[in-house]
Structure 1
């Protein structure tokens, strides 16, 4: 169901008033509308850095666990 011309004009007035009164909120609403419409996601400045940080920590934990296993095997085999 589409909006009538009058309803579109009222919505446009509301949007202009929002942009004038609270530009930050207007930007957030516009971003939400783009996401819901299937548009681009907003940039995530820490996303890639956080992902690499987590991956590095997983690898460190993996190698530490492997080292502990090897040391335990050596301790058992040498006794």
Structure 2
């Protein structure tokens, strides 16, 4: 559902006030909006692939940590 004309005007006024009062924050919000619109980081058109890559590596790190803990437990129990 889209915004009404009145809601769009109010949002534009809020954006203009933010730009006047805190230009740095307005710049950061605009950068976040650009990232969200593209679906990834600027200059990285593979937003979904990058997320999957990070998720896969997270699971590999988690599995490696679990393996190390199991091996340490086995080493302690067998001594």
**TM-score for the superposition, normalised by structure 1:** 0.50
**TM-score for the superposition, normalised by structure 2:** 0.50
